[in-house]
A and B are shown apart, each in its own frame.
Chain A
Amino acid sequence: MSHNALGRSLTARGANPVMWPAIWLVLLMVCVWGFPYADGVLRVIEPDARQVVYQRASLASLLVQHLLVVSAAAVITTASGVLAAIVVTREWGRNFLPLVAQVASLGQTFPPVAVLALAVPALGFGTLPIIVALVLYGALPIVRNTLGGIQGVDKEVKSASAAMGMTGWQTLCQVELPLAAPVILAGIRTSITINISTAAIGATVGASNLGDPIIAGIVNGNMAYIIQGALTIALLALTVDSLFERLQERLRSRFYTS
């Protein structure tokens, strides 16, 4: 379930895979620092607008805020999601397994906008409801993948680890988690890439991030604004995604090289 099949399909034609994160990152930087000077280019898209460069805030500061929100959510989701999945796969927490697994898959049906909208009455406007909505939404792929990863560990391997006299903790840290790591990482990757896009919706409830230019563009009917926000977010997502792809390859190659 790669979100970076574009990168991969291009990679297949001979480009160096290590390069992709760097390429996306450079493009992202070009966008962030270049748009303020790209008046001429943006003018082509929106010849009649009074202003085509988004100037209410610098794209760089919006990018930083966007990243802060997404990383705060990512840290919380990863910690809580992995922890929850570990708890329900232990002997003593197993009772909760069916419910948690079901909720993790059911939760995907909750539209992020609706979650966001419901978080606002409880938490008010601003950055906090965004983080809450992102956490709620982002925890699910992580829980699901961690569950899948841990349950996917060969039963024989788990049984062997117990039979060799490993304690539960040793089995978890030395066997289950390392073996589940690629799947868990894939879950974190999905969660973060989804959240990078979803965070943009936060602009509608008063969090300022890369969604701002988009909303401003929609409200004023200014395509140039929308493109500045959208392109930056897309490149950010691609950068992060390709980084994760690299990480996954590293993990895979660590297991399976002689």
Chain B
Amino acid sequence: MALLDALPSPRMSWRQWRPNSVLVVLLSVLLVAVWLFDVVSVSPNRIVSGQGAGLVEAVGWLGALLVSGVILTLVLLSLQPSRQNYQVALVGVCLLLLLMPFGLMVASDRLVSSDAPPARLNMGMAYWLMLSLLFLCWIELRLRLTLPRRWTVLMLLGVAIVWWLCAMWALEALALGQEFRARDDEFWRALRQHISLVSVAVAISIGLGLSLAMLMRRYANFQKVAFGVLNFLQTIPSIALFGLMLGPLAWLAAQWPLLSQLGVSGIGWAPALLALVAYSLLPMVRNTYIALEQVSPETLEAARGMGMRNSQRFWQVRLPLALPVLIEGIRITSVQAIGLTAVAALIGAGGLGAFIFQGLGQAAMDMVLLGALPILILALIADAGLGALSDILRPKNTVPPGEAQ
């Protein structure tokens, strides 16, 4: 009965026809947006705000009709939802995402004269809306087709590569690209710093988290105090925690020259790493603890009944069963750390956040984007990738939390 109960109760016969209202709404908003708002804007230099250009102005009548045509086709497909139509729509959404950088090329060709090199092409309101709405459509289609999360990773990577190639070879005028080319080396260094800070912090907190969680399982009193302290740490604003690390580390470096030779000082990576680990511990420990606790006592009892030793029970039963939840913890921690590392730029730890704060300081929005966009993409990829990993490790008959409504 449960299955039948879950179905919405049906209405009169004329309402048997059910379009996918979600897609219809998203796509209609998209269609209105691309015609109503500026798709791109052109500015003569880095600071001056640009001159907006609509869809027709940007890509010409042909391009405008092509875009509208694809969107309308998608609307038609979502009026008659079926598995096949959804699949076609999925391809359509990907197609639009891939076409978008080419649209920029056309726009740059039409609007930016090649004899004015500092002129820049900015993506406008409609362009950003299109990007986010298409991403929402993607999520909706993925859910309707019940595709696993790893598809999102593939799609993000594919689209990112095409965008990258276009930006590299054909989009001299794009502001973001210009910003990138101006600080090419700096960007790669920042990206490397960002990723290594995050991975080192996450690695340390995995190790520490596991040991803390084990201790907690053994000593109930320690558990209370530790959770109390970790919770308290989370209430300190991230920005302040980074700041608070300045003093003690500067002092330590002054006391022990060995430390300062290693690169430890009041500013830079050391305080950032400490603060990141401090912040990462709570989600890590909490999830590890839950992961180890949620393994059903019957299973463990059975393992003991079969004559498994304590260590065997831990490595062969408890840990494998806890692994998916543990990886969820790593996912949450990593995503959070990617965001927090942006703040670490304030204390000189570098990373992509440096572009954000520099850009904000100079009122150069392209530079802010150069920092913020990769952080966003990194976070999305880490989220989808680790989520997919946890799905794969999960026993087949259980529902991953991300897929449960």
In the complex, which residues of chain A have a beta carbon less than 8 angstroms from the beta carbon of B174?
Answer: none
B375 within 8 A of A: yes
Do B242 and A111 have beta carbons less than 8 Å apart?
no
Q: How far is the CB of B8 from chain A (nearest CB, A)?
A: 6
Contacts A2-B231, A98-B143, A221-B246; is A113 near B375 (CB within 8 Å)?
A: yes
| Consensus secondary structure, chain A interface | helix
A218-B368 contact given A110-B376, A117-B360, A197-B236, CB 8 Å threshold: no
- Among A1-48, those with CB < 8 Å from B are 1-10, 12, 45-46
In this complex, what residue of B is CB-closest to A217?
B243
| A99 and B22 contacting across the interface, CB-CB below 8 Å | yes
A113 touching B240, Cβ below 8 Å: no
Q: Note all chain B residues with C-beta closer than 8 A to A176.
A: none
Residue of A whose beta carbon sits closest to that of B355: A117
> Which B residues between 106 and 121 are near A, CB-CB below 8 angstroms?
none
Residues of A within 8 A of B379 (CB): 109-111, 114
Contact B242 A218 (CB under 8 A): yes
CB < 8 Å neighbour of A45 from B237, B247, B369 = B247
Given A3-B231, A233-B237, decide whether A113 and B339 contact each other with a Cβ distance below 8 A: yes
Chain B contacts of A175 at CB under 8 A?
none
Chain B nearest CB: distance from A210 CB in Å?
A: 8
In the assembled complex, B266 has its CB within 8 A of some CB on chain A: yes
Check: A52 CB closer than 8 A to any chain B CB.
no
How many A residues have CB within 8 A of the partner chain? Answer: 66
Task: Please tell me the number of chain B residues within 8 Å of chain A, measured between CB atoms.
Answer: 64
Query: Closest A-chain residue to B240, C-beta based?
Result: A230
**Cβ-defined contact, A98 with B240, below 8 A:** no
Contact among B136, B236, B246 for A234, CB-based, below 8 A: B236
- Cα separation A227 to B245 with both chains bound (whole Å): 11
Is B8 a contact partner of A230 (Cβ separation < 8 A)?
Answer: no
B365 in complex: contacting residue of A99, A109, A121, A215, CB < 8 Å: A121
CB-CB contacts of A99-130 with B at 8 A, as 1s and 0s? 10111011011111110011011100000000
A7 to B172, CA, bound (A): 57
A237 touches B235 (CB 8 A): yes
Does A94 reach chain B (CB closer than 8 Å)? yes
B368 & A117 in contact (Cβ 8 Å cutoff):
yes
**Which residue of the partner chain B has the closest CB to A1?**
B286
Q: Shortest beta-carbon distance, B278 to chain A, in Å?
A: 13
* Residue in B closest to A205 when the chains form the complex, CB atoms: B360
* Any A CB within 8 A of the CB of B201: no
Which chain B residues lie closer than 8 Å to A106 at the CB level? 139, 380, 383
Identify the interface centre among A4, A95, A122: most chain B CB within 10 Å of its CB.
Answer: A95
Kindly state whether residue B343 has any CB partner on chain A within 8 Å: yes
The distance in angstroms between the C-alpha atoms of A197 and B357, with both chains bound, is 18
B371 at the interface (CB under 8 A from A): yes
Stretch at the interface among B205-213, B221-229, B298-306: B221-229
CA distance A11 to B392 in the complex (A): 42
CB distance from B262 to the nearest CB of A (A): 21
Give Cα distance in the complex from A51 to B158, angstroms.
54
Do B237 and A214 have beta carbons less than 8 Å apart?
A: yes
Quick check: A6 and B229 within 8 Å, CB to CB? yes
* CB-based nearest B residue for A94: B8
Indicate with 1 or 0, residue by residue over A78-91, a CB within 8 angstroms of chain B CB atoms. Answer: 00000000000001
Taking Cβ atoms with an 8 Å cutoff, the residues of B that contact A are: 5, 8-9, 20-22, 125, 136, 139-140, 143-144, 224-225, 227-232, 234-244, 246-247, 266-267, 286, 335-336, 338-340, 342-343, 346-347, 353, 356-357, 359-360, 365, 368-369, 371-373, 375-376, 379-380, 382-383, 402, 405
- The list of the 6 closest CB pairs from A to B, nearest first, reads A111-B339, A230-B240, A6-B228, A226-B243, A197-B237, A9-B224
Q: List 12 A-B contacts (CB under 8 A).
A: A5-B224, A12-B224, A94-B8, A96-B21, A111-B335, A198-B237, A201-B237, A211-B237, A214-B243, A223-B247, A226-B240, A233-B240
